[in-house]
Amino acid sequence: MERVALVCPVCGAPYRDTIPVGMAQVKCHYCGASIVIPTTAPRCPNHPHLIAGVLCNDCGRTFCRDCLSPYFVQGQDDSGTLFLCDSCLAKRNAEKAEYPFLVGVFLLILGVFAFIIYPMVGILWIVFLSVPAMAYGILKRRRFRQEYLTYGEKKPEASFQQIEAKVVSEYTKTYRVHASVLLENRLKSYMKEGMSYEEALRRLAEDEGYI
């Protein structure tokens, strides 16, 4: 996969919004300049109707905006937010899960020393501090490692017919007799941006949380 992120040619800011396939250009959210979408821009591996224009900060692969999750990091001098794909997010969470277990091991060592000097204090320390911390760490490690191993097992993407039926059903339940007119107007607003009918319907379904 091509590892090139879409950036503004004027201010250099990355563009991290959703870009449907077929869109020729978008506007930078920072300076308003136009960003031309290359005809060779890759499609998102998980959402083929969207352009893969955003880099995962860890692995460097490109995805659409919906495939990346913000991940806050705190350094000694500053802090920041990374944007990570499912695999890298699960990997970082698995590494973070090691911390409670290591704290439990450290508390166990202290408990052993306490047991040598004050047996009762040492026993209570181990039972109520070190063992719970280690057990919690083990559970977190198992959960996040399983997530890391199975991150690629995604649900198959809904077909266009399924999405259309879902949107029509939801609009009918919500707006009743006005559903068809409101739905048509919403779709036209998306299609004015250069999307096809299918792309507009998918975008509407994603924006309103139907898929």
pLDDT digits (tens, 9 = 90+) for 151-194: 544 445 678 888 888 889 888 888 888 888 888 988 888 788 77
For residue 137 the two structure tokens come to 């760490």
What's the half-sphere exposure (Cβ side, CA atoms, 13 Å) at 94?
16
Q: What's residue 150's pLDDT?
A: 55
Distance (Å, rounded) from C-alpha 195 to C-alpha 183?
Answer: 15
Please report, for the chain, the start and end positions of each structural domain, with discontinuous segments joined by +: 1-84, 94-149, 160-207
pLDDT computed for residue 58 by the predictor = 93
Phi, psi dihedral angles at 74 (to 5 degrees): -120, 120
Where are the strands (E) in the chain, listed by range? 25-27, 34-36, 54-55, 62-63, 69-74, 79-84
* Cα 131 from Cα 140, distance rounded (Å): 14
Question: Please, what are the averages of pLDDT over each run of 10 residues along the chain (211 residues)?
Answer: 72 86 86 88 85 90 88 76 88 80 91 92 92 86 64 60 88 84 86 80 78 66
Position 145 scores a pLDDT of 64
